[in-house]
Amino acid sequence: MTSIAGHPGIAGRIAEAGANYLSERRGILSWVFTLDHKRIGVMYLVSILFSFLLGGVFALLVRTELLTPRRTIMDADTYNQMFTLHGVVMIFLFIIPGIPAALGNFVLPIMLGARDVAFPRLNLFSYYLYVLGAVFAVLAIATGGVDTGWTFYVPYSTTTNTSVTAVVLGAFILGFSSIFTGINFIVTIHKLRPPGMTWFRMPLFLWALYATAIIQVLATPVLGITLLLLVAERLLRVGIFDPALGGDPVLFQHFFWFYSHPAVYIMILPAMGVMSELVSTFSHKPIFGYRFVALSSVAIAMISFLVWGHHMFTSGQSPLASMIFSFLTFMVAIPSAIKVFNWVATMYRGAIDLKTPMLYALWFLFLFGIGGLTGLFLGALAVDVHVHDTYFVVAHFHYTMFGGVAMAFVGGLHYWWPKITGRMYSELWGRLAALLVFVGFNLTFFTQFVLGTHGMPRRYYNYPAHFTSYHQHSTLGAYLTAAGFFLTAGYLIHSLFRGRRAPANPWGGATLEWQCSSPPPAHNFDRPPPVGDPYDMSRIRYDDAIGGYVTAEVAEPAGAGGGPGR
Amino acid sequence: MATATGTGLLAQGGPTFWMPPQGSTGASAVDWAFYLIYYIAVFFFLVIVGLTAIFVVRYRGRRGARPEGAPSSHLAVELTWTLIPTVVVIVIFTVGLGGFMDISFAPLNAYEIQVVGQKWKWFFQYPNGYVDSDLHVPEGRPVRLVLSSQDVVHNLYIPAFRVKMDAVPGRYTKMWFHATRPGEYDLYCAEYCGTGHSDMVARAVVHPAGQFEKWLESAGNWVEAVPPAEAGRILTVGRPDGSGGRGCTQCHRVDGQAHIGPPLNGLFGHEVTLADGTRVVADENYLRESLIDPQAKIVAGYQAVMPTYKGRLKEREITAIIEYLKSIAGPREPARGAQ
């Protein structure tokens, strides 16, 4: 296995400059019918960024309405639709597909050393299902909106006269998109690893995507069936959940959370994978505790199926069930903690380069740290009863989902941006925007912890006057965060036209995608690339002439990097 | 900002930076658990962020710098930071469990109040049959609430007592608390239930020891003690402090403006057009039917969303409400074709 250790590792780089996956074929049809995982990844990326914008606009409308008690800019029904759409769009159209379908699609085969995913046609089909699901969601907005919250709790959702059916069918279709992507990734990782790419030589991002794909395939069908039953109850008046028809509303909550709790790990696991790549690359040092980080992803994936009842401590479920769910919930905290400690340890005695992606990795540590630790309050039964369904929960899941997943997504976007587009963005503006996002985020959501512990229930249009100043601080923070993201959009778009040409390896990463040119050639690798330790950076040197890193030709003893994989 | 808390001021049950005032015996137990977890969380947060900050400052390398070389795995270290969190979370689980057992099982001698949630109003029924829109409880005595819902899932939440429970249609759920400090506290609906969700609020009034019974006796008889039209006005729009109302004004206004339901002034004795196009005069029987069987006649332009008040209003109260509506009927048109 060490026979390739001294290989220069440029086998994947193609000879002629300019012929890459973007320029190889032109015309709109070359995109519409493309089977190239990189182009599908880019199409996902554009769609997902648009969804993020849409969900963000809804968020700003919600926060603006909450500037004052009672009416500020909209009536109660409109407000209820706004927070529902914010949740539905952000969760189903942005966070769940964000990292796996956009960044994962682009990076996974290259990181693995493969030419494409196992089923390229299925991959394209997943994308169009995503678009179709998004169309249904937009249709729901156009035909009267939805006001159930993203949780669709019955019997409210079966009795309200808004377009629940359209949005639920949209979520159903998006579920299939998610399942197909999951299947594709599982098969790709099992079957398309090139010679030398053993399980424990896979980059941690791939471990994370693999664990995510397993949850997607196992949990999403449950959501699909649940949503179909909901539609059947609405349209055909079949009594499943609505007690007026002989159903049980708490059953719906069990079904819903049986998917939706694992789903939060569908969201966070890929983000953790991105974190492992960012922290290692920008510390120029192998990840600490590779096997623990890799296997903790699998542990999280398994335990995540057994904790759904912690959303229902006040639903009237039996106290015994609540106790068991509480205990299992605490167990899932342990692998998450292991990951965090290993990331921090990776920085120890590194050579830390505070580029924009690394700033987002630091934000992740800070924000996900708060998000994870506030989960301890929610897992503890007696405390959860007090803060359940208050702004404390809202703040908690925004710290994990926005402060965790979205920060890792933006960090990963900046990390792989040169690889995807072949252009470098402005580092100065990147850091400035990152700072703005960080300050704005904390102003927005830290105040919500205090609102929550003082008893402010979530999904409230009107609120007692003594909460006003907290809400106003939170709204101000939301505007700052939005400004940071608009700035980000500005310099990223600018870089497409004016950005410096990206070198193959601008950051000093050791995983295989940095051995391809930027952007990569259409077929990634002309022959299977030499596979070594994904975090062995001992032979990676900075080259002033090309403004990026190169892999030194000099063969060194395999033990120099002290990395995993042996 | 996590450190600017002013915490540790648990004595006297007053509000702290993190917590509202304590109004029940359970509140101090919950707050104790909260602050224990809080200090554990702050400790771990400072370790993570502190080490990160130190490493970033100490090992900040310029472009192309080489790391100083450190081991990339260490089994003893890994086991240490696996075991310590495991012990910590088991401690937190145990603390949360203890408090939860206390709030899950009510003492046998608890005073029982029936609670019904309905879009978008709470109804509290006392053992003597009296129904109030606010929760009144005695100080120093355990109180058990038996909750149900007329329509969708609601959730009764009293922050000062640190208790919360869903009100689910088709089944009963229970919660209890032991109020310790007389006063008025906020009571919210914490499970999203539609348009008026954030207005589904009430007061939890803790009466000083010995005064609750007196309050209940007078409250149960107040309808008989005032003229019918005045009683009807209170039942419809509530007293200035919000008490006494039965939720009519969540949907109906009395200033001539349409809301979720039609306005109630200028109604009695006037003709109304129904959804099917027929016209009827709003007389005593029409109003009575609208309360007992609201879906029977739907006024044109409105949704059939009003729940029934059958069994929720006594005959005397229905009469009082009709008398009040007569008093705000405005100038009377000649009632053509009535009966």
Question: A281-290, pLDDT tens digit by residue?
Answer: 999 989 999 9
Of the residues B38, B44, B100, the best mutation for testing chain A's interface (the one with the most A CB atoms within 10 Å of its CB) is B100
Residue B57: closest CA among chain A residues belongs to which residue?
A352
Q: Would the CB atoms of A351 and B65 count as touching at under 8 Å?
A: yes
Q: Is a pLDDT exceeding 70 seen at residue B9?
A: no
The tokens of B292 are what? 């007992």
Looking at A96-203, list the stretches that DSSP marks H as alpha helix, in order from N- to C-terminal side.
96-97, 105-112, 120-142, 156-159, 164-191
What was the pLDDT predicted at A562?
A: 39
Q: What is the rounded average pLDDT of the residues B77-96? A: 91
Q: Would the CB atoms of B99 and A382 count as touching at under 8 Å?
A: yes
Indicate the pLDDT class of residue A511, thresholds 50, 70 and 90.
very high
Residues in contact with A35: Cβ distance below 8 Å, sequence separation at least 6, in sequence order = A116, A120, A121, A123, A124
Q: Is a pLDDT exceeding 50 seen at residue B11?
A: no
Q: Which residues pair with residue A523 across a beta bridge? A: none
The tokens of A428 are what? 């100065």
**Minimum distance, in Å, between the CA of residue B107 and any CA atom of chain A:** 16
At A432, the amino acid letter reads L
Among B61, B171, B192, the residue with its CB nearest the CB of A316 is B171
Q: Would the CB atoms of B17 and A457 count as touching at under 8 Å?
A: no
Q: Give contacts of B250 with chain A, Cβ < 8 Å.
A: none
**Minimum distance, in Å, between the CA of residue A167 and any CA atom of chain B:** 17
Neighbours of A270 (CB within 10 A): 30
Q: Would the CB atoms of B19 and A453 count as touching at under 8 Å?
A: yes
What was the pLDDT predicted at B63?
A: 64
User: What does the longest C-alpha to C-alpha distance in chain B come to?
Assistant: 99
Q: Is a pLDDT exceeding 80 seen at residue A199?
A: yes
Q: What is the pTM of this model?
A: 0.85
What was the pLDDT predicted at B230?
A: 87
Q: Would the CB atoms of B194 and A564 count as touching at under 8 Å?
A: no
Q: Give contacts of B95 with chain A, Cβ < 8 Å.
A: 380, 382
Residue A194 forms contact with B (CB below 8 Å): no
Question: What b/e string do you get for B162-180 counting C-beta neighbours within 10 Å, with b at 16 or more?
Answer: bbbbbbbbeeebbbbbbbb
Q: What gap in Å lies between CA A557 and CA B323, rounded to an integer?
A: 98
pLDDT more than 70, % of chain B? 92
Cis peptide before B176 (omega within 30 of 0): no
pLDDT tens digits, one per residue of A394-451: 999 999 999 999 999 999 999 999 999 999 999 999 999 999 999 999 999 999 999 9
3-class SS at A532? coil
pLDDT tens digits, one per residue of B268-294: 888 899 988 899 998 988 989 988 889
Residues in contact with B287: Cβ distance below 8 Å, sequence separation at least 6, in sequence order = B267, B268, B321, B322, B325
Q: Is a pLDDT exceeding 70 seen at residue A222?
A: yes
Q: Would the CB atoms of A381 and B97 count as touching at under 8 Å?
A: yes
Strand pairing class (B142-149; B111-118): parallel
What was the pLDDT predicted at A4?
A: 38
What was the pLDDT predicted at B332?
A: 60
Q: What is the CA radius of gyration of chain A?
A: 23
Confirm if A145 and A85 have CB atoms less than 8 A apart: yes
Q: Treating both helix axes as pointing N-terminal to C-terminal, what angle do B315-327 and B212-225 enclose, rounded to 10 degrees?
A: 60
Confirm if A92 and A154 have CB atoms less than 8 A apart: no
Please give the helix or strand (H or E) that residue B158 lies within, else none. Answer: strand B154-158
Chain A, residues 419-448, CB within 8 A of chain B, namely 442, 446
Residues in contact with A7: Cβ distance below 8 Å, sequence separation at least 6, in sequence order = A530, A532
Residue A448: closest CA among chain B residues belongs to which residue?
B18
> What single DSSP character describes residue B214?
H
The tokens of A419 are what? 């690889």
What was the pLDDT predicted at B93?
A: 93
Q: Which residue has better confidence, B23 or A530?
A: B23
Residue A323: closest CA among chain B residues belongs to which residue?
B97
What was the pLDDT predicted at A553?
A: 66
Q: Would the CB atoms of B165 and A316 count as touching at under 8 Å?
A: yes
Q: Cα torsion at A306, A307, A308, A310 (round to 10°)?
A: 150
The domains located in chain B, with CATH, are: 111-221 (2.60.40.420), 228-327 (1.10.760.10)
What was the pLDDT predicted at A559?
A: 42
What was the pLDDT predicted at B333?
A: 55
Question: What b/e string do you get for B254-292 counting C-beta neighbours within 10 Å, with b at 16 or more?
Answer: beeeeebbbebbbbbbeebeeeeeeebbbeeebbbebbe
Residue A443: closest CA among chain B residues belongs to which residue?
B1
The tokens of A297 are what? 């992803």
What one-character-per-residue DSSP string does A218-246 give? HHHHHHHHHHHHHHHHHHH---SS-GGGT
Among B51, B67, B198, the residue with its CB nearest the CB of A350 is B67
Chain A, residues 329-388, CB within 8 A of chain B, namely 330-331, 333-334, 337-338, 340-342, 344-345, 347-354, 362, 365-366, 369-370, 373-374, 376-377, 379-386, 388
The domains located in chain A, with CATH, are: 29-551 (1.20.210.10)
Among B72, B85, B95, the residue with its CB nearest the CB of A563 is B72
Among B44, B85, B199, the residue with its CB nearest the CB of A334 is B85
Neighbours of B339 (CB within 10 A): 6
Q: Is a pLDDT exceeding 50 seen at residue A565?
A: no
Q: Is a pLDDT exceeding 80 seen at residue B149?
A: yes
Establish, for the pair of chains A and B, how many residue pairs have beta carbons separated by less than 8 Å: 288
The dihedrals phi and psi of B246, each to the nearest 5 degrees, come to -110, 15
pLDDT tens digits, one per residue of A227-242: 999 999 988 888 899 8
Indicate the pLDDT class of residue B64, thresholds 50, 70 and 90.
low
pLDDT tens digits, one per residue of A284-314: 989 999 999 999 988 998 899 999 999 999 9
Q: Would the CB atoms of A542 and B64 count as touching at under 8 Å?
A: yes
Confirm if A156 and B152 have CB atoms less than 8 A apart: yes
Q: Give contacts of A331 with chain B, Cβ < 8 Å.
A: 89
What was the pLDDT predicted at B2?
A: 36
Chain A, residues 250-269, CB within 8 A of chain B, namely 250
Q: What is the rounded average pLDDT of the residues A197-206? A: 93
Q: Would the CB atoms of B186 and A464 count as touching at under 8 Å?
A: yes
Of the residues A339, A385, A505, A536, the best mutation for testing chain B's interface (the one with the most B CB atoms within 10 Å of its CB) is A385
What was the pLDDT predicted at B62?
A: 67
What one-character-per-residue DSSP string does B3-65 give? T-------GGG---SS-PPP-BHHHHHHHHHHHHHHHHHHHHHHHHHHHHHHHHHHTB--TTP
Q: What is the rounded average pLDDT of the residues A82-100? A: 93
Of the residues A233, A346, A383, the best mutation for testing chain B's interface (the one with the most B CB atoms within 10 Å of its CB) is A383
Of the residues B31, B63, B105, B150, the best mutation for testing chain A's interface (the one with the most A CB atoms within 10 Å of its CB) is B63
Confirm if A443 and A386 have CB atoms less than 8 A apart: no
Q: Give contacts of A294 with chain B, Cβ < 8 Å.
A: none
What was the pLDDT predicted at A8?
A: 39
Indicate the pLDDT class of residue A375, thresholds 50, 70 and 90.
very high
Q: Is the dihedral of CA B328, B331, B337, B339 positive or negative?
A: positive
| Mean pLDDT, chain A, whole residue set | 89
Query: Is residue B172 left, alpha or beta, with left meaning phi > 0 and alpha meaning psi from -120 to 50?
Result: beta
Q: What gap in Å lies between CA A104 and CA A48, rounded to an integer?
A: 13
